[in-house]
Structure 1
Amino acid sequence: MEATAVFDPWSPEFVADPYPGFARLREAGPVHWFEPSRQWLVPRHADVRALLRDRRLGRTYLHRFSHEEFGRTPPPPEHEPFHVLNGHGLLDLEPPDHTRIRRLVSTAFTPRTVEELAPTVRRLARERVDALLAEGGGDLMATVAEPLPVAVIGEMLGIPAADRGLLRPWSADICRMYELNPDEESARRAVRASVEFSDYLRGLIAHRRTHPGDDLISALIAAHDEGNRLTGQEMVSTCVLLLNAGHEATVKTVGNGWWALFRDPGQLAALRADHTLLPGAVEELMRYDTPLQLFERWVLDDIEIGGTRIPRGSEVALLFGSANHDPAAFAAPDRLDLTRADNPHVSLGAGIHYCLGAPLARLELAAVFGELLRRAPRMRLLAEPEREGGFVMRGVRGLLVEC
């Protein structure tokens, strides 16, 4: 089967509901060549989980090969600000740099730190729900889902409240480059955002070096281990990654999650009747309509998937959304089940690149869903939402509700 017959990440119809196409990919085989992006698509849960942990694959190849040695064309020089910023972040590094930086960042990003943030997260969730209730409803995305995680990460990093309005536009423009085959306009906007965001953070970091505070940037400046410290670029890239990864997926999970609940009145009623279901509901909503649909890895040494040889220099696209709907891993995977006991979803990744901010994401999601369940128990949807244009980071454009 030609993958292009069922996989079209640029089609609004496919983006609206990719899961039937994923089912056909899984049934047809464990791996499929997709010529438009020149990637191998991997749709099955067992393969995705295994490859996330397979050290023969990497998020980058530059720790072992030059572009030319790997058979790849270097990115255009005008895109360099984006690639410098992206290439020094945890998500796109491999050992030994990944190991060193993650260890340093982890000293300032512990479960205890996240737990200490809980009162702040709950306060910010209350404030955003207050704003929604004061108007009797409105756009749940613009009023609650989008500003909450930006405010949380802004408080964590110590970014002044007056500057936080800059963060989401920068993040949105940078994240456009994570879509498949981004166009030149997306690249131009991502480069501009990378320059502006980096310049802003360098100024803030310089200020914190002489005026440290009780914030994550100050903690990152102080973090050291066996004489190692974060370089200036590593600090900037880490802060950008914490913002981008720390809020884009959370925003999309809130939107996708409420849209799923509104479409399943029985499950929504059960959750409203029993708030103790919330922790499991958060996991199920992350699985059911996955915010990050695709995660790319480079093949550093030849591998084999289901009898198909994938040579070094290839790129694989791990289809998280498909893996999360694989009947080999989940009973009745296309059914929303907030009481699902066995839920090995891959929405937060696995292996060395497992989401560092997973505890914070769960805290934020529980806070925002919990506040809305408690204080807007009759909230209803007024209009079916539109999907955003992107497939890799897939969400809804707005969610108009009445409280």
Structure 2
Amino acid sequence: MAEESFELDESFLDPVVQDDPFVAYATLHEKCPVYKVPENGLYMVTKYEDVREVLTTPSIYSSRPGTGAGGLNEASKAHAQVFEEKGWVKGRTLQRTDPPEHSHYRKILGRVFTRRAVDGMIPRIDEITHGLIDQFIDRGHCEFVSEFALPLPGIFICEQLGLPAEEYETFKRWADAMLAMSQRPLSPEEAVVQAEYEVEAQYHLAREFEKRRKEPTDDLISALVHAHQEDEPFTMEELQDLMHQLVTGGFETTTSALSTSMWLLLRHPDQMQMLIDDRSLQKNFIEESLRFDSPVAGLWRTAACPAELGGASIPEGSAVMPRFAAANRDAEVFDSPDKFDITREDLHKHVAFGLGSHFCLGASLARAELMSAFSAILDRMENIRLIEPLDDQPHKFSFFLRPMKELHIEFDKV
């Protein structure tokens, strides 16, 4: 049974714990499956079945944003004020609504990310993948995050949106600003700076919306501008929110998955050799990487009513986080969950992409990018090894993502 008075030996928000949270997850599985984080009052759900319940019961655990039981803090107020005064307060669309409202937005975007649609994107993904490798293959080494894991999804999502691919680094900076309030605690001053970066992105996107209204094109922005919700075009606030989700989802999550997957192979040379010897294991390798170290650790929900879960009493209005990364290490579901094993047979159970009505729309695209990346890497490189020791904390601090700082590798050209 969970005890709301239970506290971990080290704060869950400690950068050391955030960098390697898996010992904390194991402790919480055993002693406090639904853990109230003392610093922010968030109820963090760690057991697999409890996470499933949160993700599949929107009537109790809503995706509509709340203010938490204690209301907005000063940083959140300062952040919101910037949009009220200088930009657009984002509408509630795909990620921030529940069915049936959510279903309308999902239906429109879902057409873009069907498996069939993604299959048609694979030749271009492969082209970008090989083009990036061409830039460092003769050198025999690269910084994997900045030279490959970031530009691959960055260039592709920019092209899909109809934005200049060479500007992906600018959009990455904007994506970071869009996620800043969710990544780590900010001071009010820091929150204002990040909000102003995002407002800069909003005005850039607003100009793109206007261009597409006047001259429709064959890209995702144009499709959204000319889409209709109940016979009405999307408002500027709705468009800004949809773009917020597409830009952030198109960058950080796939970049993290690519970087982490490479890092896992380097840390487990026996598994790397197994993959080299039997390339039919590649899909399993990707799914095991997603399970073992999930690129999105969890997402927010709001308790729509008082709830009981995992032995904890959750007050109405409380912030709740189903922790995907913890659920994917639950020993009651996965055999030897802390073992990285690309031959395991229970991978269909992992929840790295969520579950239920909010299952990640871009899951098929992310998988396609991962398959393209590692097919090309294994075709063109061998004897891949780490050339610089990683930082004691190899990840940037983030409460819900797993961004690696850098990953310097060297290799022999095939």
TM normalised by structure 1 equals 0.92
Partner-residue secondary structure (3-state), 2:51: helix
Are 1:368 and 2:369 matched, yes or no? Answer: no
Structure 1: gaps of 5 or more residues? none
Q: Which residue of 1 aligns with 2:53?
A: 50
What letter is aligned with 2:56? R
User: Does the 8 Å contact 1:82/1:190 carry over to 2?
Assistant: no
Give the CA deviation at 1:240: 2.4
Partner-residue secondary structure (3-state), 2:300: strand
Choose from 90, 97, 115 the match for 2:101.
97
Q: Which residue of 2 aligns with 1:247?
A: 251
Over 3 Å counting, the alpha-carbon distance change for 1:190 and 1:87 in structure 2 is farther
Measured on the aligned residues, the alpha-carbon RMSD in Å equals 2.2
* Structure 2 Cα separation of the partners of residues 18 and 25 of structure 1: 11
Choose from 391, 394, 403 the match for 2:402.
394
Give the CA deviation at 1:292: 1.5
Deviates more, 1:183-192 or 1:365-374: 183-192
Give the CA deviation at 1:85: 5.4
User: Does the 8 Å contact 2:151/2:168 carry over to 1?
Assistant: no
* Structure 2 Cα separation of the partners of residues 30 and 78 of structure 1: 32
Give the CA deviation at 1:23: 0.3
* Structure 1 Cα separation of the partners of residues 181 and 117 of structure 2: 31
* Structure 2 Cα separation of the partners of residues 307 and 280 of structure 1: 35
Choose from 18, 21, 26 the match for 2:21.
18
Per-residue Cα deviation, 1:30-82 (whole angstroms, up to 9, x for no partner): 222221111222111110111111121112256xxxx69x7634842552456
TM normalised by structure 2 equals 0.89
Are 1:283 and 2:287 matched, yes or no? Answer: yes
What letter is aligned with 2:29? R
Q: Which residue of 2 aligns with 1:298?
A: 302
User: Does the 8 Å contact 2:276/2:378 carry over to 1?
Assistant: yes
Deviates more, 1:374-383 or 1:157-166: 157-166
Q: Which residue of 1 aligns with 2:77?
A: 76
Q: Which residue of 1 aligns with 2:345?
A: 341
Give the CA deviation at 1:94: 2.7
* Structure 1 Cα separation of the partners of residues 358 and 81 of structure 2: 24
User: Does the 8 Å contact 1:249/1:292 carry over to 2?
Assistant: yes
Q: Which runs of 4+ in 1 moved over 6 A?
A: none
Over 3 Å counting, the alpha-carbon distance change for 1:41 and 1:108 in structure 2 is closer
User: Does the 8 Å contact 2:78/2:191 carry over to 1?
Assistant: no
Give the CA deviation at 1:19: 0.6
Give the CA deviation at 1:122: 0.7
Are 1:352 and 2:362 matched, yes or no? Answer: no
* Structure 2 Cα separation of the partners of residues 307 and 9 of structure 1: 20
Give the CA deviation at 1:7: 5.6
Q: Which residue of 2 aligns with 1:136?
A: 140
* Structure 1 Cα separation of the partners of residues 135 and 402 of structure 2: 26
Q: Which residue of 1 aligns with 2:226?
A: 222
* Structure 2 Cα separation of the partners of residues 291 and 162 of structure 1: 25
* Structure 1 Cα separation of the partners of residues 166 and 318 of structure 2: 45
* Structure 1 Cα separation of the partners of residues 6 and 228 of structure 2: 47
Over 3 Å counting, the alpha-carbon distance change for 1:94 and 1:193 in structure 2 is farther
User: Does the 8 Å contact 1:32/1:41 carry over to 2?
Assistant: yes
Q: Which residue of 2 aligns with 1:196?
A: 200
Q: Percent identity?
A: 30
What letter is aligned with 1:300? A
Choose from 35, 39, 42 the match for 2:42.
39
Per-residue Cα deviation, 1:194-225 (whole angstroms, up to 9, x for no partner): 20111111111111122222211122223336
User: Does the 8 Å contact 1:3/1:25 carry over to 2?
Assistant: no
Give the CA deviation at 1:150: 0.6
* Structure 1 Cα separation of the partners of residues 200 and 145 of structure 2: 25
* Structure 2 Cα separation of the partners of residues 185 and 257 of structure 1: 36
Over 3 Å counting, the alpha-carbon distance change for 1:254 and 1:136 in structure 2 is same
Over 3 Å counting, the alpha-carbon distance change for 1:8 and 1:258 in structure 2 is farther
Give the CA deviation at 1:89: 4.2
* Structure 2 Cα separation of the partners of residues 170 and 8 of structure 1: 30
Per-residue Cα deviation, 1:116-146 (whole angstroms, up to 9, x for no partner): 1111111101111112213221200110001
* Structure 2 Cα separation of the partners of residues 248 and 254 of structure 1: 10
Q: Which residue of 2 aligns with 1:210?
A: 214
Partner-residue secondary structure (3-state), 1:317: strand
* Structure 1 Cα separation of the partners of residues 116 and 82 of structure 2: 34
* Structure 2 Cα separation of the partners of residues 398 and 272 of structure 1: 24
Give the CA deviation at 1:86: 5.2
Over 3 Å counting, the alpha-carbon distance change for 1:307 and 1:379 in structure 2 is closer
Over 3 Å counting, the alpha-carbon distance change for 1:78 and 1:378 in structure 2 is closer
Choose from 366, 369, 383 the match for 1:378.
383
What letter is aligned with 1:189? V
User: Does the 8 Å contact 2:63/2:97 carry over to 1?
Assistant: yes
Over 3 Å counting, the alpha-carbon distance change for 1:106 and 1:294 in structure 2 is closer
Give the CA deviation at 1:249: 0.9
* Structure 1 Cα separation of the partners of residues 21 and 144 of structure 2: 24
Over 3 Å counting, the alpha-carbon distance change for 1:346 and 1:211 in structure 2 is same
Partner-residue secondary structure (3-state), 2:43: strand
Partner-residue secondary structure (3-state), 2:405: coil
Structure 2: gaps of 5 or more residues? none
Are 1:259 and 2:267 matched, yes or no? Answer: no
Partner-residue secondary structure (3-state), 2:397: coil
Deviates more, 1:175-184 or 1:347-356: 175-184
